[in-house]
Chains A and B, each alone.
Chain A
Amino acid sequence: MLKTLLIFFGLSLDGFIVMMQKGATVRDLSEKNKIIYSLVYMAVNLITLAVGYGLAVTFDGVLPDGTAQIAIASMLIMAAGIYIAVKSFLNRPFIEKLDSNFNIYTLIPLAFFTNIKTMIVGIGFALLGVSLKSVILPAAAVTFLMSYTALSFGYSHGAAEQRLIGIAGGTLMVILSAYTLFKVILAAV
């Protein structure tokens, strides 16, 4: 469970960057709006997690069982982690430019686009045999808290240290999934 939470935490650092950027580029950000935006982001995050989970369950008979599933899951999560870390490393410096059109309706597509990796991780969790019910509440809590913190931080301090945050999140996911994969390979050998 701890490993699952840590993977989710690593994943949520990517969302943290996005919400921090938004906090840094809105003119006014009230407490009410921070809570609403965080709830919306959390909702989209959970939906994509559930969709990924559902996709894995749908194709349950297609994929090989047991060790192979765990290996595939680990590689999927590792791939997501590598993508996040590399994207953060290669990203150009962020220009804090006023976004006067930001609202719930622009946040929703942004959240879906950002959470494609969450869908992949959802598939990974399903293949790892993690129960969706056991992960939904912690995932919701982590996502909400990270989004709220990111918006607050971005608004008061700007979008700082994005590269470091992204690399840290991606690296955490890579390390944890590599550890799982390593255990699987060892068991197979």
Chain B
Amino acid sequence: MKNALADSLRYLMTGKLFEKITIKMICDETGVIRATFYNHFEDKYDCLNYIIQNDLTGQGTGEMNEKNLPVSLMACLNVIEKNREFYRRAYTTVTGQNSFEEMLELNLRLFVSAYFKSHRREEFMPQYNNDLISMYYASCVFCAVKMLIFDQNGIHTAKDAGIMLRDLTTHTFLDFSKEPEEW
């Protein structure tokens, strides 16, 4: 039922501004009553957040591990590419206090954090906690996702975004610097 309601919201967002969409519209599209909606979600923002969560994690290959991380990320990027129009619309129309950008960034951080919780090499640079490195690498993923959504900087497809992520996360700042010895 949650997926049905989320799909209805996704569909409605292709034709209407998010702020104009009401709970009634979502319920009518799904064919349920208001009480059913409120059994699953607090409000339409909660429903939108569920769409993002589902897209980021629901399309993965299961439990995240270092063998599956690239697969999980690519699956996530493929879903975003497939729903690019929805993401573009959500990005530009859901702004302000509960903005889509904030929701997406937060969910990406949770996505990365979940990986590091179970697959962090504890002995490597322990002075940096999981929250900090999750925040750092999630912002990299967020950058790639945003470029994919808006087809910017040559990132046209999920594959392009995946290659960019691989290249930037497997190389350091110094690799790109002319004067690495300054550090």
Contact = CB atoms under 8 A, between A and B. Distances in A.
Interface string B1-38: 00000000000000000010011100000000011001
B127 interface: no
B45 A95 contact: yes
A98 interface: yes
A93 B22 contact: no
Interface string A17-31: 000000010111000
B22 A97 contact: no
Contact of B22 (A26, A96, A98): A96
B35 A24 contact: no
A131 B159 CA distance: 78
Contacts, number: 31
Nearest to B23: A96
A28 B37 CA distance: 11
Interface residues of A, number: 14
A47 B35 CA distance: 33
A100 to B, nearest CB: 8
Give the residue among B24, B34, B44 with the most A Cβ atoms within 10 A.
B34
B42 A97 contact: yes
A155 B22 contact: no
A160 interface: yes
A26 B45 CA distance: 17
B35 A158 contact: no
B43 interface: yes
Interface string A148-165: 000000011110100000
Contacts of B38: 26-27, 98
Contacts of B41: 98
B118 interface: no
A24 B23 contact: yes
Contacts of A24: 23, 34
A160 B43 contact: no
B12 to A, nearest CB: 13
A123 to B, nearest CB: 38
Interface string B30-66: 0000110011011111000000000000000000000
B43 A27 contact: no
Q: Is the interface of B mostly helix, strand, loop or mixed?
A: helix
Given A93-B19, A98-B38, 11 more contacts: A24-B23, A27-B34, A96-B22, A96-B43, A96-B44, A97-B42, A98-B42, A98-B43, A158-B22, A158-B23, A158-B34
What are the 9 closest A-B residue pairs judged by CB atoms, nearest first? A97-B43, A158-B22, A27-B38, A158-B24, A98-B38, A98-B42, A96-B23, A27-B35, A28-B35
Contacts of A97: 42-43
B177 to A, nearest CB: 47
Interface in A126-173: 155-158, 160
A27 B34 CA distance: 7
A95 B48 CA distance: 13
B43 A95 contact: yes
A89 B23 CA distance: 22
B29 to A, nearest CB: 13
Nearest to A95: B43
Contacts of A96: 22-23, 43-44
